[in-house]
Structure 1
Amino acid sequence: MSGTPQTTDVAISDADLLEQTANAVREAGSVLRERFGEIVRYQTREELVQALDANDDVSLAILRPTLTRLRPEAGWVEDELAGGELPAGEWWVVDPAEGNVNHLRTIPDWAVTATLVRENKPVLTAVHVPLTGETYTALAGGGAYLDGRPLRVSQLTDLGLSIVATSQARPDEDETVMRRVGSSITAMLLGALSIRTSVPATLHLANVAAGRLEGFWQFSGGRADMFPGSLLVTEAGGQISDVDGNPWTTRSESFLATAPGIHAEAVATLSL
């Protein structure tokens, strides 16, 4: 993290700020799309990291100066994998190429996200999916939208009819967490209609907000994974908790987002 954020009077409305944030993630996504098309080959972890950093750098070259200009008082979270509480004030939580490894492999599931967090609560977010042209936005208390169209979560009330998803928070996760992920997938295979397992988390959460999926869960994870999608889901009428049904915070060890009608059943299934 960098900068020392201070809470100051808002120069422009959050709604106007969201519009400009959405423009920024679209511009960054356009640059990443120009780099998409051929599999990037690597033989070592060092080569992989260099390729990931190259994508991040071209996206951040657009996002950082633009978002800093919009909210110069806000701090900047340097590590998109970091978790835990942020210091007081406003912070930009940005993933310049979420699903970056998919981009390198020419898999279409990747996005650019930017979320403004105020006192550890996401207040606005913009998620752009360059290969579909879709832009998801949400404003705390103002709803969630896909290209300007309101989003609503699924109305299903039966987990057995539901499509749910999960994701791997990071490649070098603790073995205990990995085993819990495996057990949870087995439990959901027995309870849900179908399961999707892939990265990145935010695209699954956008699908929950849009009513395409009924739920998403993940163990561990960083703020950049959870903040954008959690705001989209809650503003679309969904329910957020940890997998045991407790209120989710940035200190939680798990995350669950569902349509309200299946939340209790999902908690019962995942509370291993």
Structure 2
Amino acid sequence: MEDIWQSAMDHAVAVARKAGQVVREAAGVVRADAVMVKSSPIDLVTQTDQQVEKLIIGALKSQFPTHCFIGEESVSAGDDCSLTCAPTWIIDPIDGTTNFVHTFPFVAVSIGFAVDKQVEFGVVYSCLRDEMFTARRGKGAFCDGRPLRVSPRKDIRQAVVATEFGSNRDAAALDKIFASLRRVVDIPVHGVRGAGSAAINMCLVASGCVEAYYEIGIHVWDVAAGSLIVSEAGGVLMDVQGGPLDLMSRRVLATNNRNIAERLVREIDAFSVRRDDDHASS
């Protein structure tokens, strides 16, 4: 079975590179009339998102026709979003669509692969920066073949924390998001950053560039691949309230060590959002 999954991972890397080339060629030439909205006026999708997802799923299905698929654009169109024990590909064709529209350089193709509801490998290709992040369960995490390791910093007051505001503009949610941000800044930490892509934020944790990343409102396709990259680089994953990470909960906390994770849990004003497996699309 191990050889089968290694072959699948190699294929995923090749597919991610091909998809990334499409993204790069389209970046900067997206017409205004090609940008559409989904759940809110700032939850964007483009024709390139849809084109790239079709490319990825088509290339994977040709090799693995019996596998299951969860893709961001497919779910938005009404496909099921349930993670079963069956081999399942979890795909975000363009993580950071707003970045893509504005040519902000953090845009990723994210492909995770899960069996028995556990991610076995993850591929995150930072298209515009041409960086390939990969991880295989028990085999480590890498960027362009170079091993990744989380930051050794243990004092949260020396940490850089990544977070995002998401696409939810509900007033109550925003109040909690900004209350959390204020409390984190007041620790004080060295700084707060955000790449605009959950997958890349997680790769920044794995690379040791930031000590932590948290967000409420992301989706399983945003974090499936990145979650394994973090854990294989020595990081810690949990829910924003301190329990185990649930990929379908739309809440994530990824850190370089447990002490920083537990401190951030005390500062985050957590709230619940509708789970990915509660409905076909958000």
**Would the TM-score normalized by the shorter structure come out above 0.5?**
yes
**1:63-212 alignment runs, 5 A limit:** 63-79=56-72, 85-169=82-166, 171-172=167-168, 174-191=170-187, 192-212=189-209
Q: CA deviation at 1:175?
A: 3.8
Q: CA deviation at 1:60?
A: 2.3
Q: What is the DSSP-based 3-state SS (H/G/I as helix, E as strand, rest coil) of the residue aligned with 2:241? A: coil
Q: What is the DSSP-based 3-state SS (H/G/I as helix, E as strand, rest coil) of the residue aligned with 2:45? A: helix
Q: Residues 137-195 of structure 1, C-alpha deviation per residue, up to 9 Å, x if partnerless?
A: 011111111011111000100111110111234x2454433322111111111121100
- Provide closer, same or farther for how the CA distance between residues 146 and 44 of structure 1 changes in structure 2, counting only shifts above 3 A: closer
Work out which of the residue numbers 41, 46, 53 in structure 1 matches 2:32: 41
Between the aligned partners of 1:263 and 1:218, the Cα distance in structure 2 is: 13
Work out which of the residue numbers 208, 213, 222 in structure 2 matches 1:225: 222
Q: Which amino acid in 1 is paired with 2:183?
A: A
- Provide closer, same or farther for how the CA distance between residues 67 and 84 of structure 1 changes in structure 2, counting only shifts above 3 A: closer
Q: Which amino acid in 2 is paired with 1:58?
A: Q
Q: Which amino acid in 2 is paired with 1:221?
A: I
Task: Confirm whether residue 270 of structure 1 aligns to residue 268 of structure 2.
Answer: yes
1:4 aligns to what?
Answer: none
Q: Is the 1:55–1:100 Cα contact (8 Å) retained in structure 2?
A: no
Between the aligned partners of 1:46 and 1:268, the Cα distance in structure 2 is: 35
- Could you tell me which runs of 5 or more consecutive residues in structure 2 were left unpaired when the two chains were aligned: 271-282
Q: Is the 2:153–2:159 Cα contact (8 Å) retained in structure 1?
A: yes
1:254 aligns to what?
Answer: 251
Q: CA deviation at 1:225?
A: 1.4
Q: Which amino acid in 2 is paired with 1:66?
A: A
2:278 aligns to what?
Answer: none
Between the aligned partners of 1:20 and 1:107, the Cα distance in structure 2 is: 28
Count of aligned positions: 261
Between the aligned partners of 1:39 and 1:190, the Cα distance in structure 2 is: 39
Between the aligned partners of 2:2 and 2:146, the Cα distance in structure 1 is: 27
1:27 aligns to what?
Answer: 18
Q: Residues 209-261 of structure 1, C-alpha deviation per residue, up to 9 Å, x if partnerless?
A: 00011000011321011211111100100001112211111343631110115
Between the aligned partners of 1:46 and 1:100, the Cα distance in structure 2 is: 11
Q: Is the 2:177–2:269 Cα contact (8 Å) retained in structure 1?
A: no
Q: What is the DSSP-based 3-state SS (H/G/I as helix, E as strand, rest coil) of the residue aligned with 2:262? A: helix
Q: Is the 1:38–1:105 Cα contact (8 Å) retained in structure 2?
A: no
- Provide closer, same or farther for how the CA distance between residues 153 and 46 of structure 1 changes in structure 2, counting only shifts above 3 A: closer
TM-score by length of 1: 0.86
Q: Which amino acid in 1 is paired with 2:48?
A: N
Q: What is the DSSP-based 3-state SS (H/G/I as helix, E as strand, rest coil) of the residue aligned with 1:231? A: helix
Between the aligned partners of 1:25 and 1:199, the Cα distance in structure 2 is: 19
- Provide closer, same or farther for how the CA distance between residues 251 and 35 of structure 1 changes in structure 2, counting only shifts above 3 A: closer
1:55 aligns to what?
Answer: 48
2:279 aligns to what?
Answer: none
Moved more, 57-66 or 19-28: 57-66
Indicate the percent of aligned positions where both proteins have the same amino acid: 26
- Provide closer, same or farther for how the CA distance between residues 264 and 61 of structure 1 changes in structure 2, counting only shifts above 3 A: closer
Between the aligned partners of 2:242 and 2:4, the Cα distance in structure 1 is: 34
Moved more, 71-80 or 27-36: 71-80
- Provide closer, same or farther for how the CA distance between residues 85 and 175 of structure 1 changes in structure 2, counting only shifts above 3 A: farther
- Provide closer, same or farther for how the CA distance between residues 146 and 254 of structure 1 changes in structure 2, counting only shifts above 3 A: same
Between the aligned partners of 1:14 and 1:223, the Cα distance in structure 2 is: 21
